[in-house]
Structure 1
């Protein structure tokens, strides 16, 4: 029996997405090295209700010098992180010599606003390439994984923080015991830990199975976060639903007894109970819908090919690796995928080896259909690609089900 990384309780597997590659390992066409694969299985802990991957991928395989994702690559996300920074400046960073630490600061998109406000800050980012981009914007960054030892050194050399923030980072880290010992070391007694990650409730509602890939180890709920925090002397004191990345929740943790939990915490906990979100039957029903989406998507692509329609994909996202490899989609159905990220262009997608081309090739000429892997940025992308629709082109989406728009 597999055991939970949080409480050592038994895990019940409810979804198997098969043999998967590293989601951000885009290969050069002439790269003949063996590709890393692992089994992408998901389980529910019977004891603490934490949903998590059953097999762990070594962190060095995922977060390294050439990590290709840039947080500032989307205008919607730039706006979101600017708003987040202003929220922290207005609430937690108002005192003299305020200090903010960000885990997984990526290219510095959030901390830039903190820096421009003159507030002391430090980013902790293990991927060297994006860390250099942040430094180029004037952000102070330590290239390291955040864990207890890192945090103690930061506290000793920089002082303790008013706020530690993380976006789409905590769910990547299996070893949360060390992270929470680090938070205890680096936060001031009245400091808070604020983090936002994909919300299991939205993943289930939208059948968004592509949110499950190697980098996303945990899938949080208010209940599982509350239990996790209590194990380490913290308390969940606020939650806020966010529309970004297909649905996230921003959680705020404080040391036990320091702050009164907001009504939003009890409201979300009650909603999760009503929805039976932590019950195995609910998650198995989700897994059944995933199988339906796979069958429907492959059937649609095969029908369009038989009819002579030209189909390409848009957005070489990390989550698209889950879709292509789980569904068995290769170049016979999708000849290439367009993406705006220079680091991915000219490479092949993980596992499926679909060529990634620059977005200019999307219009040379326009395809009949475009499979939108970056569905969480649909509004921004469809607005930017209005001419595609004007030419008669149609978008294919698979969240929450397979449909054409």
Structure 2
């Protein structure tokens, strides 16, 4: 792909992370033949500045009945989504018979709070497995990909929405033109679209290149989101920095002329201009930092292996697929990955084929070192596994730089 999916402007590639598998395709041992790979590379649009993948992976390969990610899997994220629901209920889902729609509702952790408040709601998610879990919480779900036709169907059956919300979902959807036509059809005249996704500024600052994988097609900035919104008759009216998932931004969009932008929008745009975020030279420096991180991490792991140290990993995340496959980390350097998700346990990590074991077995016995793939949950994990360090174990981190926690 050589043109931008948003504006058809020219794309310039700045980072190639090589052949990568589907990041959530955890295979059974003995079933790795014919595994799907694609070239994971990132480019910048010279017209609207949107940073995006150079190749699109078919959505059905990523989002299906057996999609293994669960939003409720972390206590930090459960609290985040419950607080988000309460905020939306207090500020947007007001008046007579308010209606809240969530794109990518996953297992329903956010909408369950909305439902308990007695507010009419609907989740839209293409993955039947997590949708069933949401329904078990009392959440109403339509199993579908969100696009213009989906939105038109919802509006006809349910009426228009006060707020449409999406978390870690909009960046997954290459066909944003259809999404925005759907939003225009579904939102009330004064309704808002609120979404939160990984922030390019944090990715560049932290060298968190593992935020780049098949599901993350776009990497947003306030500037690129403002450009995107204006193309479709909307305006960026608010931004909020969030600490979750390694640094995200919550963006609020409204139809042009219905709400004035907050001061936070101008402040973030000015900060991005000062830092030259999404400018070619900045992104080239980021690519060089990524290559340095790869070299340092591989050197560290090979040195520990040569010294006879036992090294494992913690967190079989989607992000870890990028790290393991780009760096060439397999079971010879990292013997296993420990994870809390039952659907991943007993399987192999995508591409790198490292065995996934239950986190309950982490101490059988403790390893010498643990590579923390789930670094965005470091505080929660290290508190849970404090006995590992007490027993002399050491954590390995690779963002914002490769280091061992003594």
- Whole-Å Cα distance in 2 between the matches of residues 355 and 149 of structure 1? 41
- Whole-Å Cα distance in 1 between the matches of residues 83 and 203 of structure 2? 24
Report what 2:42 is aligned to: 42
List gaps (5 residues or longer) in structure 2. Answer: none
- Whole-Å Cα distance in 1 between the matches of residues 68 and 277 of structure 2? 33
Tell me which stretches of 4 or more aligned residues in structure 1 moved more than 2 Å. none
8 Å Cα contact 2:310/2:335 also seen in 1? no
- Whole-Å Cα distance in 1 between the matches of residues 337 and 153 of structure 2? 43
Report what 1:398 is aligned to: 398
CA offsets 1:253-294 (integer angstroms, 9 cap, x no match): 000000010000000000000000021010000000000000
**How far off its partner does 1:300 sit?**
0.3
**How far off its partner does 1:308 sit?**
1.2
Report what 1:235 is aligned to: 235
**How far off its partner does 1:95 sit?**
1.1
1:32–1:297 CA distance, 2 compared to 1 (3 A): closer
- Whole-Å Cα distance in 2 between the matches of residues 174 and 32 of structure 1? 28
**How far off its partner does 1:128 sit?**
0.6
Asked whether 1:76 is paired with 2:83, we answer no
Report what 2:176 is aligned to: 176
- Whole-Å Cα distance in 2 between the matches of residues 175 and 164 of structure 1? 17
- Whole-Å Cα distance in 2 between the matches of residues 302 and 316 of structure 1? 21
- Whole-Å Cα distance in 2 between the matches of residues 357 and 201 of structure 1? 34
- Whole-Å Cα distance in 1 between the matches of residues 99 and 250 of structure 2? 20
- Whole-Å Cα distance in 1 between the matches of residues 277 and 243 of structure 2? 19
8 Å Cα contact 2:194/2:251 also seen in 1? yes
Asked whether 1:8 is paired with 2:17, we answer no
Aligned residue runs from structure 1 range 149-188, under 5 A = 149-188=149-188
List gaps (5 residues or longer) in structure 1. Answer: none
- Whole-Å Cα distance in 1 between the matches of residues 192 and 32 of structure 2? 47
TM superposition score normalised by structure 2: 0.99
**How far off its partner does 1:361 sit?**
1.6
- Whole-Å Cα distance in 1 between the matches of residues 165 and 48 of structure 2? 24
CA offsets 1:344-390 (integer angstroms, 9 cap, x no match): 00000000000000012210000010000000000000000010011
**How far off its partner does 1:33 sit?**
4.2
- Whole-Å Cα distance in 1 between the matches of residues 371 and 95 of structure 2? 49
CA offsets 1:71-107 (integer angstroms, 9 cap, x no match): 0000000000011000001100121100000000000
Aligned residue runs from structure 1 range 308-323, under 5 A = 308-323=308-323
Report what 2:17 is aligned to: 17
**How far off its partner does 1:121 sit?**
0.1
Aligned residue runs from structure 1 range 22-171, under 5 A = 22-171=22-171
- Whole-Å Cα distance in 1 between the matches of residues 192 and 230 of structure 2? 14
- Per mean C-alpha deviation after superposition, the further-off stretch among 320-329 and 24-33 is 24-33
| SS of residue paired to 2:382 | helix
CA offsets 1:138-187 (integer angstroms, 9 cap, x no match): 00000000000000000000000000000000000000000000000000
- Whole-Å Cα distance in 1 between the matches of residues 395 and 262 of structure 2? 41
Give the root-mean-square deviation of aligned CA atoms.
0.6
Report what 1:371 is aligned to: 371
CA offsets 1:109-157 (integer angstroms, 9 cap, x no match): 0001000000000000000100000001100000000000000000000
Report what 1:206 is aligned to: 206
- Whole-Å Cα distance in 2 between the matches of residues 26 and 279 of structure 1? 36
| SS of residue paired to 1:363 | coil
Report what 2:329 is aligned to: 329
Report what 1:346 is aligned to: 346
- Whole-Å Cα distance in 2 between the matches of residues 198 and 326 of structure 1? 20
**How far off its partner does 1:202 sit?**
0.1
Report what 1:223 is aligned to: 223
- Whole-Å Cα distance in 1 between the matches of residues 140 and 33 of structure 2? 36
| SS of residue paired to 1:249 | strand
| SS of residue paired to 1:110 | helix
- Whole-Å Cα distance in 1 between the matches of residues 286 and 307 of structure 2? 32
- Whole-Å Cα distance in 2 between the matches of residues 189 and 232 of structure 1? 14
- Whole-Å Cα distance in 1 between the matches of residues 41 and 95 of structure 2? 45
- Whole-Å Cα distance in 2 between the matches of residues 301 and 106 of structure 1? 35
